[in-house]
């Protein structure tokens, strides 16, 4: 009887292992930021604008989408991922947004092509680019405007953007982050339209 009970236990354990191995994992979903149209503004003159470098916190340099679970806790989703390099995706979307708002195709992304030197450069450091599902997407950081021809800084601007989410899905979160990038692009475009040729040494 003892031998029979042991065999039965082994059979149950094997069946449980087979059940676990045979259970398919849910398929991963992939996302990308999108361009957000805004109100066009006028550049003071025809200038070549450089967008970048754009920096993100190291913790966001990964394929998993990062969410803020608590003030000191982050969650990484194995089944909700960026469809490519988040850093490149964000840089490209910001450049597209600014091209639309400034009504110009004279925009290049960092690193610049060989023999290309922008007249003005927008460098952006993100401190936060995440969110809480079902609540809001949050962008924080600082951007700087440089006059590359005179080799000086024209201004430095902090930003804190909180975009309410329309639902609790990761699609809603990515859409909120895209809208937040659009708000940042609005701020940059407004400052560029009012930029003065005065360097801060």
Residue 93 tokens read as 């979307």
| 10 confidence band (pLDDT: 50, 70, 90) | low
**What is the reported pLDDT for 16?**
56
Indicate if the pLDDT at residue 44 is higher than 90: no
Burial 126-165 (b: 16+ CB within 10 A, else e): bebbbbbbeebbbbbbebebbbeeeeeebbeeebebebeb
Domains of the chain, first to last: 29-193 (3.40.50.10610)
| 26 confidence band (pLDDT: 50, 70, 90) | confident
How far, CA to CA in Å, does 131 sit from each of 126, 137, 144?
Answer: 13, 4, 24
Instruction: Read off the pLDDT of residues 71-92 as tens digits, 9 standing for 90 and up.
Output: 888 999 999 999 999 999 999 9
The CA-to-CA distance between both ends of the chain, in Å, stands at 90
Q: Which residue has the higher pLDDT, 116 or 122?
A: 122
């Amino acid at each position: 009887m003892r031998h029979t009970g042991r065999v039965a236990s082994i059979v149950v354990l094997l069946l449980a292992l087979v059940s676990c191995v045979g259970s398919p994992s849910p398929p991963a979903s992939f996302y990308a930021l999108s361009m957000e149209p805004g109100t066009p503004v006028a550049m003071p003159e025809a200038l070549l604008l450089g967008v970048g470098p754009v920096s993100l916190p190291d913790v966001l340099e990964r394929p998993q989408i990062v969410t803020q679970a608590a003030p000191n806790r982050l969650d990484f989703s194995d089944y909700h991922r960026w469809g490519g390099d988040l850093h490149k995706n964000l840089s490209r979307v910001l450049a597209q947004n600014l091209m639309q708002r400034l009504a110009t195709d004279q925009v290049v992304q960092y690193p610049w092509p060989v023999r290309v030197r922008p007249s003005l450069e927008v460098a952006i450091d993100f401190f936060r680019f995440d969110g809480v599902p079902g609540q809001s997407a949050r962008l924080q950081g600082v951007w700087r405007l440089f006059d590359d021809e005179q080799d000086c800084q024209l201004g430095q601007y902090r930003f804190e953007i909180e975009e309410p989410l329309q639902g609790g899905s990761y699609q809603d979160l990515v859409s909120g982050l895209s809208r937040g990038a659009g708000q940042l692009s609005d701020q940059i475009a407004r400052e560029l339209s009012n930029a003065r040729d005065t360097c801060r040494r």
